[in-house]
Structure 1
């Protein structure tokens, strides 16, 4: 499946028919970027993390499709969530294995959508529907009650329509507690559309990229700021991308990366090892945390995993700039006695070898791991007082022989 890099995400260039086959057979988490998403993704690390974890990222905006075409990156077709979901349930109308749970909408809306969909497909495809209370995502007791109902329903497709980025974040947070669910489907206002609670724009407006205008005219008080103010940075980013001057925030990127990818970039897991671990997690229906699988595999020590999973985010948040040796010791990648040995050797050396060079030379950590920590240190240094870019970081790193 072809992928297109745009701003700080990767979009699958796939047709609707291809996607329906993939979703129906393999499942996974799908996200559907539009202009609003792409603006939020520039500042919201937990939302960006959901995108990093997604199995499918498909274009949900005619405007985004136009922008990509302008940039010489044409997308096969726009696949909005409100088009994809009905296409999915119609595609699987005779597939008795597909069981859907609807979560979203105001009171009674999800139930109405359930009845409408089941009537269309001629069977009880939607097995349960629930409209959560406003702010439910902040109520752990209610979230656990929702999880219980989803599990009891034995649905293997979860459709969540509570708005972005809330729906994507909720799925990522709780999917490991939903062992029966094979496909996670955040769909925005689609449940409202299916219930007949809200009307979609005419097809001709959607085809021309004017669905936003229809929605704005339908709900001006709620949507005027999103479409007329908040979306402006998107067009600025498109221009930046065109002239190759777009830079994403490296701290945001680091905060949003899943644990497995961080360990891979840090040279602590190979691509093959990471793939095996991810496949194992998928076999477990995401019921086991990635860190626990890595611990069981014996590839890394529990202390190293704990550092990257728990301590590293705190270091980033507090902007603690340490010496390289301190990071390595905290990560349990090198012992205090090894540091002492390196310092002693450094003192006796006639050539001005850096500590990092000697650590790599002695084989305590790989060059890739050392490079990663050096880059990490410099990103944090740049973060103090100004917004860093990876370009700036790498310019500074050129002075390090170990990186050349």
Structure 2
């Protein structure tokens, strides 16, 4: 089990952590019924924090940020000699969390994406994890939250009997959402993004060799070129330039500062 704390990747505090440690932290919080927020950040998520200082402060208030993808793992190893042997994929982490939740009989709440995706996800999970208890499933509204709306969502989650929440809103909306919800729910909230689509059967995984060589982004780009071309063809090179500059000392990222104040406006 690897849990060596947080390290700055271009000013975003990413955890040097593996699957076992991340899952253990999630269920420690669930068992103790305390607030806890986690997100799985790939290159896009890190670069969103680099370009938006307010969002950077929100990210740095997360309990755990797992390195989702080879490029973020490589950054931890390059900048901090972390010797991290594997990245922590959001879909795989979701899979492990769901099986543990089923084993411990902890009900799960699903929040985000579209009605179609959430319905397919709930159905798929009842087949793949048959003992899992899904306390509730609620799609995104794809708009900014109205006054008091976070409190109403928290009421629904608590009334369902859920002990942890999986959130699939896409980056950076999901990070803003779970950050805002943290003071309202005494349970883990995990921002897992595309894991909803993968587990619902709407996205296929990149071949393992592409994942090992940091090319999973290319697979996603082929599958969704119109939606993702800007993310990968513009942000990817910027990530490499910033990472190289930080490594050789030509650029010093801002000192990471956490913020526990909810974003306004933020999405639901």
TM over 0.5: yes
Aligned to 1:118: 126
| SS of the residue 2:37 aligns to | strand
5+ long unaligned stretches in structure 2:
31-35, 263-268
Aligned to 1:149: 156
Q: Which has the higher contact order (CA 8 A, sep 6+)?
A: 2
Moved over 6 A (4+): none
Aligned to 1:9: 12
Tell me by how many angstroms 1:78 deviates. Answer: 0.1
Matched, 1:241 2:243: no
- Structure-2 change in CA distance of 1:10 and 1:144 (3 Å): closer
Aligned to 1:191: 196
Instruction: Give matches, 1:176-255, under 5 Å.
Output: 176-179=183-186, 182-249=187-254
Tell me by how many angstroms 1:140 deviates. Answer: 4.1
Contact 2:102–2:132 under 8 Å retained in 1: no
Contact 1:7–1:246 under 8 Å retained in 2: no
Contact 2:73–2:84 under 8 Å retained in 1: yes
1-structure distance, mates of 2:101, 2:141: 30
2-structure distance, mates of 1:106, 1:200: 20
2-structure distance, mates of 1:46, 1:148: 27
Tell me by how many angstroms 1:215 deviates. Answer: 0.5
Contact 1:114–1:128 under 8 Å retained in 2: no
| SS of the residue 1:159 aligns to | strand
Aligned to 1:158: 165
Q: Compute the RMSD of aligned alpha carbons.
A: 2.3
Match of 2:23 among 16, 20, 23: 20
Match of 1:68 among 76, 92, 110: 76
1-structure distance, mates of 2:251, 2:129: 46
Aligned to 2:91: 82
Q: Larger Cα Rg: Structure 1 or Structure 2?
A: 1
| SS of the residue 1:112 aligns to | helix
Contact 2:16–2:82 under 8 Å retained in 1: no
Aligned to 1:94: 103
| SS of the residue 1:30 aligns to | strand
User: What number of residue pairs does the alignment pair up?
Assistant: 253
| SS of the residue 1:53 aligns to | coil
| SS of the residue 1:2 aligns to | strand
1-structure distance, mates of 2:260, 2:141: 29
Greater fraction of residues in strand = 2
Contact 2:11–2:253 under 8 Å retained in 1: yes
- Structure-2 change in CA distance of 1:144 and 1:257 (3 Å): closer
TM-score normalised over the length of structure 1: 0.58
TM-score normalised over the length of structure 2: 0.85
2-structure distance, mates of 1:249, 1:10: 11
Deviations 1:19-57 (A, max 9, x none): 222222234211222111111111323322232221112
1-structure distance, mates of 2:87, 2:196: 19
2-structure distance, mates of 1:39, 1:192: 22
Q: Out of 152-161 and 38-47, give the one that drifted further.
A: 38-47
